[in-house]
């Protein structure tokens, strides 16, 4: 029987989201959430019936048109026009896991009862999630300020029989979907379109997805660097616990602990070294990788707050008898956090490329470019070029998007976060990091071959044994690209035994 996660006021965190996605859990509204949603909607309907006073987005236009009053008989049309007119997404289509996350996070935000949405609409979103009906959403179009207007408009279009969805491996129109499911298109009530479109769920879904990936790749960066440390015949003294307890940044301490664990029992590590010190890219792995881990913890706190918040507008406070137009849709916290995360993940690739460079440099009794007959063979010369190219691109992508702002909506929205751009380029940086780490492991495995018969640790030996089933030791020049891809696939599928979300 498929387990169910109940949407409630209980705090939603990364572990729960990972479990929902990994186990394919269904979701359902708790009794608490249903009561909150209905109470808010009933209050709003009462207010609309009792008063003709203008309330933003409920009986007025939007953005710079906020002072245009809309007649009562046009209020449903107003909401549907909002959804259609704001669906201006373009560029690449975002990945299905991101859409699934957007649905989950939008439902969570609407469940608190401060949005005035109807229970029928939220139930339809829940059905989308459980039936794996995923609206087609595009990468570009959000300024990350009035919420993620364009992406969320595409998320909402199928509710009224418009737009496109992925369903059972097909792409179909919103109208076709309704026919297939036997559903009627929703008639959006006052405020509902705004509740659906205002919010930070495009940015926050990207942030959750990026964090889940980043924690995994931060772990794998430690693992791959440990292979390189032994392959380059490094000292283990810089990883001694005593060194890190006198500068006890949590990420630094954890990284050193992992490196010691990975290399425990290595014959290579125990041999007397001719080199007194190692280059920083090896010696300072705890300090550099650790700083990235501490960044993950910082960004995680921001994201945890965001995904457990109400981010549409205006906000409805039933007990206080207030409808307040505020700015919770502004994505600045996420924009800054995602930019910081981009820098931190780019740094893991930066230091990885430096280790690659050292491994192919003909040092520490390793042959030039890690090949037995250099000259006739170029060996691992050009994989380092590839890594350098990728790292350079990451530096460009890591330039903060959040420092930019372009005035929109005739000056009404005069400061925007650009957090959606922070979000999308962050995923490109993480994908680039995966490739650089794959190249490093490819190099380190080859370098370790030249240390034989000296042995590395049991843990690293097991990793290399499995890796070499996919990517063998190279004796002469071959076409390298397929092996780099195999190395990347190996790391993507690598099963991590410990809970890597805990640092």
What's the mean pLDDT in 165-174? 97
Comparing C-alpha atoms, which of 97, 216, 205, 225 is closest to residue 492? 216
Q: What 3-state DSSP class applies to 324?
A: strand
- Report whether pLDDT(364) > 90: yes
CB neighbours (10 Å) of residue 270? Answer: 10
HEC assignment per residue over 419-453: HHHHHHHHHHHHHHHHHHHHHHHHHHHHHHHCCCC
Is 56 in the active site? yes
State the pLDDT at residue 49.
86
Which DSSP category does 268 fall into? Answer: H
User: Given phi > 0 = left and psi -120 to 50 = alpha, else beta, which region is 127?
Assistant: alpha
What is the maximal distance between C-alpha atoms in the chain? 87
Which of 432 and 502 is assigned the larger pLDDT?
A: 432
* E strands in 190-262: none
- Report whether pLDDT(73) > 80: no
Which of 189 and 75 is assigned the larger pLDDT?
A: 189
Comparing C-alpha atoms, which of 218, 257, 439 is closest to residue 341? 218
- Report whether pLDDT(260) > 90: yes
Judged on CB neighbours under 10 Å (0-12, 13-18, 19+), 22 is exposed
pLDDT band for 452, please (50, 70, 90 cuts): very high
What's the mean pLDDT in 2-22? 94
- Report whether pLDDT(70) > 80: no
- Report whether pLDDT(80) > 70: yes
User: Given phi > 0 = left and psi -120 to 50 = alpha, else beta, which region is 365?
Assistant: left
Percent of the residues in the chain that have a pLDDT greater than 90, as a whole number: 88
- Segment 193-239, tens digit of pLDDT: 999 999 999 999 999 999 999 999 999 999 999 999 999 999 999 99
State the pLDDT at residue 64.
64
- Segment 349-358, tens digit of pLDDT: 999 999 999 9
Taking the alpha carbons of 29, 35, 38, 40 in that order, is the dihedral positive or negative?
negative
CA pair distance 187, 198, nearest whole angstrom: 18
- Report whether pLDDT(443) > 90: yes
CA pair distance 326, 60, nearest whole angstrom: 15
Q: What 3-state DSSP class applies to 482?
A: helix
Percent of the residues in the chain that have a pLDDT greater than 70, as a whole number: 99
What's the mean pLDDT in 40-44? 95
State the pLDDT at residue 216.
97
CA pair distance 198, 402, nearest whole angstrom: 19
What's the mean pLDDT in 312-327? 94
- Segment 328-356, tens digit of pLDDT: 999 999 999 999 999 999 999 999 999 99
- Report whether pLDDT(385) > 70: yes
pLDDT band for 276, please (50, 70, 90 cuts): confident
H/E run at residue 52: none
State the pLDDT at residue 223.
98
- Segment 50-59, tens digit of pLDDT: 877 777 777 7
CA pair distance 185, 249, nearest whole angstrom: 54
CA pair distance 467, 449, nearest whole angstrom: 13
- Report whether pLDDT(277) > 70: yes
CA pair distance 144, 329, nearest whole angstrom: 8
State the pLDDT at residue 40.
96
Which of 145 and 106 is assigned the larger pLDDT?
A: 106
State the pLDDT at residue 66.
67
Active-site residue, selected from the candidate residues 56, 112, 209, 340: 56
- Report whether pLDDT(384) > 70: yes
State the pLDDT at residue 63.
66
CB 498 within 8 A of CB 216: no
CA pair distance 239, 253, nearest whole angstrom: 9
* E strands in 164-321: 164-167, 170-173, 315-317
CA pair distance 495, 490, nearest whole angstrom: 10
Write down all domains in the chain, each with its CATH number in brackets. Answer: 4-199 (1.10.275.10), 206-314+322-492 (1.20.200.10)
Whether omega before 453 lies within 30 degrees of 0, making that bond cis, reads: yes
Structure tokens at 361: 């440099």
State the pLDDT at residue 424.
98
What's the mean pLDDT in 103-112? 98
What's the mean pLDDT in 31-41? 97
- Report whether pLDDT(78) > 90: no
Comparing C-alpha atoms, which of 287, 323, 331 is closest to residue 306? 331
CA pair distance 465, 471, nearest whole angstrom: 10
Half-sphere exposure of 327 (CA within 13 A, CB side): 12
CB 102 within 8 A of CB 155: yes
Comparing C-alpha atoms, which of 42, 40, 43, 81 is closest to residue 60? 81
CA 74 vs. chain centroid, Å, equals 39
What's the mean pLDDT in 438-455? 97
CA pair distance 261, 250, nearest whole angstrom: 17
Place of tokens 């590590």: 269
């Amino acid at each position: 029987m498929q387990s169910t996660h109940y949407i409630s006021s209980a705090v939603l965190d990364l572990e729960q989201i990972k479990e929902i996605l990994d186990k394919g859990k269904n979701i359902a509204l708790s009794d608490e959430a249903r009561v909150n949603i209905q109470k808010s909607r009933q209050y709003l309907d009462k207010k609309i019936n009792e008063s003709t006073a203008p309330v933003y987005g409920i009986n007025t236009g939007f953005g710079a048109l906020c002072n245009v009053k809309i007649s009562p008989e046009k209020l449903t049309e107003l909401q549907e026009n909002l959804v259609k007119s704001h669906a201006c997404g373009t560029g690449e289509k975002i990945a299905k896991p991101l859409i699934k996350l957007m649905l989950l996070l939008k439902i969570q935000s609407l469940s608190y009862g401060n949005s005035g949405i109807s229970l029928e609409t939220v139930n339809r979103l829940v059905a989308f999630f459980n039936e794996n009906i995923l609206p087609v959403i595009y990468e570009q179009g959000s300024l990350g300020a009035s919420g993620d207007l364009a992406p969320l408009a595409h998320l909402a279009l199928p509710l009224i029989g418009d737009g496109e969805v992925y369903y059972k491996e097909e792409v179909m129109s919103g109208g076709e979907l309704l026919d297939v499911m036997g559903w009627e298109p929703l008639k959006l009530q006052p405020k509902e379109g705004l509740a659906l479109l205002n919010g930070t769920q495009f940015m926050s879904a990207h942030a959750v997805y990026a964090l889940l990936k980043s924690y995994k790749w931060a772990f794998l960066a430690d693992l791959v660097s440990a292979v390189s440390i032994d392959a380059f015949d490094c000292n283990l003294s810089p990883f001694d616990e005593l060194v890190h307890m006198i500068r006890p940044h949590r990420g630094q301490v954890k990284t050193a602990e992992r490196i010691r664990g990975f290399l425990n029992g290595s014959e290579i590590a125990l041999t007397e070294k001719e080199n007194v010190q190692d280059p920083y890219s090896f010696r300072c792995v705890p300090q550099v990788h650790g700083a990235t881990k501490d960044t993950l913890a910082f960004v995680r706190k921001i994201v945890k707050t965001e995904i457990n918040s109400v981010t549409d507008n205006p906000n409805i406070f039933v007990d206080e008898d207030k409808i307040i137009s505020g700015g919770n849709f502004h994505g600045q916290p996420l924009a800054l956090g995602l930019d910081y995360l981009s820098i931190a993940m780019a740094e893991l690739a930066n230091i990885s490329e430096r280790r690659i460079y050292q491994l192919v440099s003909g040092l520490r009794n390793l042959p030039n470019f890690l090949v037995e007959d250099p000259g006739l063979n170029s060996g691992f010369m050009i994989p380092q070029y590839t890594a350098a190219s990728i790292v350079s691109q990451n530096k460009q992508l890591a330039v903060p998007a959040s420092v930019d702002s372009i005035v929109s909506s005739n000056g009404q929205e005069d400061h925007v976060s650009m957090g959606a751009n922070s979000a999308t380029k962050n995923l490109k940086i993480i994908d680039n990091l995966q490739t650089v780490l794959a190249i490093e492991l490819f190099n380190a495995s080859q370098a370790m071959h030249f240390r034989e018969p000296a042995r590395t640790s049991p843990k690293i030996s097991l990793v290399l044994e499995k890796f070499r089933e996919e990517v063998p030791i190279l004796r002469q020049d071959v076409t390298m690209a397929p092996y780099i891809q195999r190395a990347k696939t190996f790391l993507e599928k690598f099963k991590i035994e410990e809970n890597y979300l805990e640092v």
